[in-house]
Amino acid sequence: MASPPWLLSATEGNDDGAAGDENDNGEGIEDSFAVMRSDMSGRGRKTAEDKAAIVDDGDAEAGAGVVIVSEDDAAAPASVSEEANRRIRRLLDRRVLPLVCCLYVLSYLDRGNIGNAKTAGAKRDLGLDSSQWAWVLNAFYVCYVAFEWTTMFWKFFPAHVYVSVLCLCWGAAAMSSGAARNMAHLVVARGFLGVFEATFGAGAPYFLSMLYRRKELGFRMSLLVGMSPLANTFASSLAYGITQIRGSLAPWRLLFIIEGSLTVLFAPVAYFFLIDSPSTAPFLSKEDKVLAVQRLQLKDSTAKGGVKWKQVVAGFSDYKNYVHALIHFCANYSFSALSNFLPSIVKDLGYDSVKAQGLTAPAYFAAFLVCVAASYASDRFGRRGLIVAGTSALGVIGYGLLAAVQDDARAGTRYAGVWLAACGVFPALCINVTWVLNNQGGDSKKGAGLAIFLTIGQCSSFISSVVFPESDAPFYTKGCAIGCGLTGVILVCSLCMSFALSRENRRRDLMYGPVDPNVEVDVTNEGDAHRNFRPDRVPVKPVACNLNSPTHPFHSPPLHIQPSTSIRRRRHAFLSTAPAIAAVWLPLRQTAPSTPAPRPWELSVGRQDTILTMVSEQSPLLSNEGEAQASNRAEHDSDGGGSGSGSDKRRRWSRLREAGIFVWALVATAAVIVIAVWAQHNQQTSRAPSRSDKRNLVFMVSDGMGPASLALTRSFRQHVDGLPENDTLVLDKHFWGSSRTRSSNSLVTDSAAGATAFSCGKKSYNGAISVLSDYEPCGSVLEAAKRAGYMTGLVVTTDITDATPACFASHVLLRQMQDDIALQEVGHGVLGRSVDLMLGGGRCHFLPNGTDGSCRADDVDVIKLAQDKYGWTYTDSRDGFDKLKGGDKAHLPLLGLFASSDIPFELDRKNMNDVYPSLSEMAKTALRALERATSGSDKGFFLMIEGSRIDHAGHINDPAAQVREVLEYDKAFKAVLDFIGDTDTETVLVATSDHETGGLATALQEPGHLPVYNWYPEALAKASASCERLAHKLQDHVSKQSTPLSQPDLKAWINNELVIPGLGVTDATDEELSLLAADPEGATNNFAAVISLRAHVGWSTHGHTAVDVNVYSSGGPEADRIRGNVENTDVGKFLSHYLGVDVDTITKELREKTARPRVAAAGADEAALQWKSSYHEYEGMQ
């Protein structure tokens, strides 16, 4: 269909005609329609002279007139001067583009903060495992992909209303995530967020395509889509700042609420300042509104709210849309995949985690700059396909480097690969969006094509978790190889598409002739089958404008409408404008039936401009005709005096009422969300004390204790003490959650890797003492606490140089390096002294070689060094411990080593006249000593207490020894709770295990027996010695014999002196006694088998297991961060978070002061020898 036959424009007229003869006017209207019908039937035969002859020269005045353009004239190229183009483009760039970009950034922040929320504790607080968290993530993407077809809704609603409502909705959904109490709540909130963001995110490019010409769209689209990497450069910093806020709400909840509220508050800005279309832009003049519509090369006259279903079907059947969708799928995968390994690559360069996060930003920013440059070039030269192919070639090279280079020493090369991949893939991602929009003929097809494009393209979000498993870290070879292949697909598809479209354009040029790049192409009915439509060809010639051209809409001779006393002259003037008036009058009758139709002679300047806007039928798809008419009627009323004062008041009242309802909805929504969050947290936090600068943290480790150990001990205690079956341990009353225990190189961790997770908050390999997988040290929470002004302490029942205590105060590659650990613990390391109190065993590692009771390999007297150089007070006996008076007489720093190696099992210690202090006694003394030491300080203390020998009992499968160790640990736990109840300083207790040992199973079922599931605690109650002590007695007895004992004699001695009095077993079989007599060195395990069988207790291993272990807490401020099922590193991160200390700063200092050659994983033993030389003071001692 050609353009409308009449284009009317006027300047200023005389309103006196309103007083004319009504009867005559009525007849004029009837006659005018008759003339109009006859005139329209022959309008195609009018010449320019005929049109000019209609004008009554007597009615014309300078500067006024009506331009009457024929159908042939309307089909001519719409010439708009380059100056007008620049003026309109700049206004759109200043008033619309920043607003849309801001909305895009807000949507990115609201969808991307889920990762920061996880880091801040959302996953652990809600008790979600990895699979459940995956559901939370996928809920957003599923809904996002499922609702990207809603692009077409932009045709039906005014943009300022539609976008502001979407903004309000997705902001409210983001805020609602902060109120989630379980997985279901968070999944629902994220799902709604995906629905509303999909509706906006998919439609934003569509919206811009209705404002800018094809040759201008690429650059603007790069700015819009480029908001994602730009937002990525500051999103983490913003999230970090928000999560540092201390209050009654968990930091991750504040993150959702604050960032979501920013979006909600921005909704009114979108409502009042976003335009619906160029024809309704308040910042454009009347002439510019017309030019802004005319300047768009493609014209689709489909009515507002209408859909050309033929175009929709064409969009779904066009192969080009599926090729574009495939390119988007590949580019989306390739770009988003970079975040999986970029931080680890930067860390391999030697930077700590904070700098690693910061150094990820340059690659994204460079990608943005290259994207802008490439998009500008694609606008300038008009060949988007070739530019997409060129940039994707860089991506292929980058991903090729990432897949091929798998050497830590070449991390710089891999970092360069990330830059090439990012700078190659992201421009292709952005330009492809513009390319698919340019290749659509018709707005309805554009909506359908974009829906296909985005729906298929976004599906790549689901596969990254499959091809980038954590087990492939840090190189992710499989994922990088797939990225290289998919980026190659982009290269091939873009070249093939470009060549195919060029071939199609040449065919059309041969068939129809070349197309003037300035020509307006009406694709309303024919779509991209129009003879003048050229896909993948953006006009690059400047648009010429000749105001003197007879085809220009403002050129025709003017006509001034002025009422005349002569009815004949007034009718003549009216008849000349009757077709145009009718074209406006009838729609006005339909859209506002309650308002009287305007009389033709009452047309003033504003109403004639309304005719200009409406009859042109060139309003874009997003324009709202009713609103455009209302806007122009308002202009008419303001220019024409009081004739429209009543309707003007009604319109103003309607506008105010609409704004009031919107504001009320905004405030009500925000209030409901805030009240809901507050109410859900009020009960939980009402009794929590406010955060103070002074606080204590006690961290307890039950080495090797699993859930089955608790069940066995609980039942044993009930039997021994005659307690009811529902009686529980003190630990049970403070159950908090569970922890996953794996190390970086094994599903089953050892104590060293487990304690490194607690001390550093990071995973490491088995055997590492606060050293990470790159064989570089990591700062511990104890060292950071000491540096921040806290007092620190370690209490254990094993060697003080054993894995768990060592990880808090030393750094070595292998846990066997206990001589070095002893030196560092007393302060002889790169950080100096970090510990103020150490109580436990392991004296042999502090005595010089050659001294009685020493196990050192060198002649260093660590005790003397500690006393002389670092001021330690030393004690090594029960008498010395008693002189501490429960901590009241302790002088820090205090070193108490009460055994040469391990402090005996609690089962044995009680039978040794209390020669050794118990765990609970040492815990009470340490608590009191540290409290006194911090009484005048504004900082509290950090104390680590380990029930070390639970693990040892599990290793030898001794149930009698283990239940006593667990009971003593429970007693120490109660001692800490009592201290918390008595102290005025805010104190939190957290307790957990590093792993489970032994694979304990109560109620053993023997092969072939019925599953009766009985167990007999009385068998354990009869034991008076551990299997370890009994084995030592057997070995001593055998070694003291001058002549070997006969087997019968030895078996009798074992039964009478060890089994019966020590284990309480009176029915030992000959086979059991024979095994004990035959192998005294391995007697420990055989003794354990005897008592385990009597108690019906089973064991699956003599080592560790991968069982999740329990977490316990006294509660208190921020302890919700470790609720639910968490990683062991989450426990470590909570320790530093609660104390407010910076572990990364200690890590940086350690790495700067520890110069050591990089070694491969296979060289760990050799590296362990090299490690000594890194401590410069230690070198001086050799």
Query: Is 703 annotated as contributing to ligand binding?
Result: yes
Residues 344, 415: Cα–Cα separation, whole Å = 10
Q: Catalogue the E-assigned strands of 678-834.
A: 695-701, 735-740, 791-799
SS3 841: strand
Q: Does 552 count as an annotated binding residue? A: no
End-to-end CA distance of the chain: 97
Counting beta carbons within 10 angstroms of the beta carbon of residue 422, is it exposed (0 to 12), middle (13 to 18) or buried (19 or more)?
A: buried
DSSP code string of 1114-1131: ---TTGGGG-EEEEHHHH
What is the DSSP secondary structure assignment for residue 276, as one 8-state letter?
S
List all residues 6 or more positions away from 45 whose beta carbon is below 8 Å from its beta carbon: none
Q: How far is CA 244 from the centre of its chain?
A: 17
Nearest CA among 258, 264, 252, 259 for reference residue 181: 252
Cα dihedral sign, 973-978-979-985: positive
Alpha-carbon distance 75 to 98, whole Å?
35
Separation CA 493–CA 289 (nearest Å): 39
d(CA 930, CA 443): 74
Burial zone of 279 (CB within 10 Å; 0-12 exposed, 13-18 middle, 19+ buried): buried
3-class secondary-structure state, position 1099: strand
DSSP designation for 613: H
Q: Is position 802 annotated in a ligand binding site?
A: yes
Say if residue 470 carries a ligand binding annotation.
no
Residue by residue, DSSP assigns 775-789 as S-B---HHHHHHHTT
Altogether, the residues listed in the chain come to a count of 1182
Q: DSSP 3-state assignment of 905? A: coil
Name beta bridge partners: 988: 697
- Token look-up 């405030």 returns 667
DSSP string, 854-881: ---SS---HHHHHHHHH--EEE-SHHHH
**Nearest in space to 625 (alpha carbons), one of 304, 257, 203, 1021:** 304
In 567-720, DSSP assigns E strands to 695-701
The single residue of 209, 751, 759, 920 carrying the catalytic annotation is: 751
995 annotated as a binding-site residue: yes
Q: Which residues of 1135-1168 are buried (b: 16+ CB within 10 A; e: fewer)?
A: bbbbbebebbbbbbbbbeebebeebeeeebeebb
Whole-number Å distance between alpha carbons of 974 and 988: 13
Which phi-psi region, left, alpha or beta, contains residue 883 (left: φ > 0; alpha: ψ -120 to 50)? alpha
How far is it, in rounded angstroms, from Cα 395 to Cα 389? 10
DSSP state at residue 956: T
Q: Is 854 a catalytic residue?
A: no
Answer yes or no: is 804 a known binding residue. yes
Instruction: Work out the number of other CB atoms within 10 angstroms of the CB of residue 44.
Output: 11
Quote the CA–CA distance of 274 and 160 in Å, as a whole number: 5
Binding residues for Zn(2+): 703, 951, 955, 994-995, 1104
Binding residues for Mg(2+): 703, 802, 804, 946
Binding residues: 703, 802, 804, 946, 951, 955, 994-995, 1104
- Known catalytic residues are 751
